[in-house]
Structure 1
């Protein structure tokens, strides 16, 4: 019997890029957050063999390069299952928008396949295979607020941020993630090859990989510590660390200076993306940023009313804008089944 699931998107609340590793990937630190925007994935197993990908969006690959095909192939072998797997993707999320659509589709297909087959892969094995298929995949096996490390595939569930209204601006721009990484390396990791001022060289040196990752890790560790400090304060009734009342965890995170490093190479090439971020901030976003390498720009708002007003302003500027909300881990798994 076919099974249908929602394939939720994610945003990156900050993304720190480290040095290029020997395996060809960059070391990263990020906070992933799942949101309610989604595609629809329908999976069924028929007689025969092979994997068939169906999607009306011509930009979605339907061969074995599709992440759904790759993870289904591994799952069928690991579960010792037989049959022809048909995966139907109803695409609602932008393609190459930095919202993790392809990665989320793959995990949704895996979740549905397990239900169809009435077999389940051990969680450690699912996380291992998901990481082998793509860096963003493991976060969708957790949902909610997730700390990402390594090349993004090392995921650690953290205390969920309170759900906030979210505006996603989706301009008709396709940003290549590999190119964005190459641009980062050319601009910030090899300053000695460029003719620049001493002051600029000093600034670039400060942004170098290992130091940046260390500094980002310390800032995130301090933020996480404050969240649990707040929990102790709430349980005991005594302010921890001498602080008065608990603050908004998102605001605490923003105060660490967290930002998306991709903005530094993507915005100069696509200044309209920088302007979209400015519009969202002018309209009252608590935090606004590029998601992943883009091109989606998001803003987090204190109320749905404020978010709708900001989305209307973005649309007036000629860009599609959607109003949604952050999904906690519990809501993520409650809402995944259609």
Structure 2
């Protein structure tokens, strides 16, 4: 039996860090939405009782470091599954990019194995399991558009933003999320207007969304990696309506309302980055169908 699942990337429309928690994590408040840039996950039953990761991307680990592996391992352990599984990951989302590619792969694996192994779990139950794997996995189980709080695992769904284009550019660098948080000084950053962002989305106010984009980690990553700031300035210069770094970076995205402007922004950025994508904002929730 074969199960196919789509694993969409996410972008942060707003990302705020409130304080450091006693458990060592940071308390966050974010508005996230999915975009039409996605990995593909193919699951096949194995007779052998083992988990096998198959990917042609050399940056994707094929052992316990892989979040999709952890997702399968968690389900096997929790529900005493004695079957094995082949997890084939076809990557389109850049690795370590601030787009939750690994988390979305894990979420798609949870949804797919729920079908493959006839577990009968709800999305809410899968999201709860996802929180044990990583902070973004719960959101990725659901997809759509949501406010995420706690360490990112408490999800409240909101309306889908108005349709627009998203151009993404990832510089050829890696960013350590742990290092970004370590260098974060909450007394020195501008906190985004999360409530204003939610209101703009509820009102389907595209200009309002553009005005309220904000990411408290952006200035930290830019100090560590000045090329992120260069890409952001170039994206603005080429005509994006609003520009922001996603997650802890280094990917920068621009929102563009009119398709006629896409090619200028996309082609302009190709001179600065090898990994440039032009996709639609997705914002639709996943189902178990």
What is the aligned-residue RMSD (CA, Å)?
2.2
* Per-residue CA distance 1:167-217 (angstroms, 9 max, x = gap): 010211100000110011xxx25xxxxxxxxxxxxx63xx59xxx5xxx5x
Runs (5+) with no aligned partner, structure 1: 190-202, 231-247
Deviation at 1:293, TM superposition (A): 0.7
Corresponding position: 1:278 with 2:233 = yes
TM-score, with structure 2 as normaliser: 0.92
How far is the alpha carbon of 1:283 from its aligned partner?
Answer: 2.2
Residue segments in structure 2 that go unaligned for 5+ positions in a row: none
How far 1:320 sits from its partner (Å)?
Answer: 2.8
Question: Given the alignment of the two structures, is residue 291 of structure 1 paired with residue 241 of structure 2, yes or no?
Answer: no
Count of aligned positions: 289
CA distance in 2, matches of 1:56, 1:98: 21
Alignment correspondent of 2:205? 249
Aligned to 2:272: 317
Give the number of the structure whose residues are more often helix, by fraction: 1
Change (3 A) 1:316 1:251: same
Check 1:126–1:272 CA distance in 2 against 1; reply closer, same or farther (3 A cut): same
Which structure has the highest strand share of the two?
Answer: 2
1:120 aligns with 2:120: yes
Note if 1:220 corresponds to 2:194. yes
- 5 Å-filtered alignment, 1:158-177, equals 158-177=158-177
Tell me: CA distance 1:152–1:299, structure 2 relative to 1, closer, same or farther (3 Å): same
Aligned-residue offset at 1:305: 2.7
Q: 1:79 touches 1:121 (CA, 8 Å); kept in 2?
A: no
Instruction: Please name the residue that 1:199 is paired with.
Output: none
Normalised by the length of structure 1, the TM-score is 0.79
Highest CA radius of gyration, 1 or 2? Answer: 1
Counterpart contact for 1:44–1:113, Cα < 8 Å? no
* Distance in 1 between residues matched to 2:154 and 2:273, nearest whole Å: 38
Q: C-alpha offsets along residues 256-288 of structure 1, whole Å, 9 cap, x if unaligned?
A: 4x4111111111222111111111112222221
SS at match of 2:131: helix
Match of residue 302, structure 1, among 248, 251, 257: 257
SS in 2 for 1:63: coil
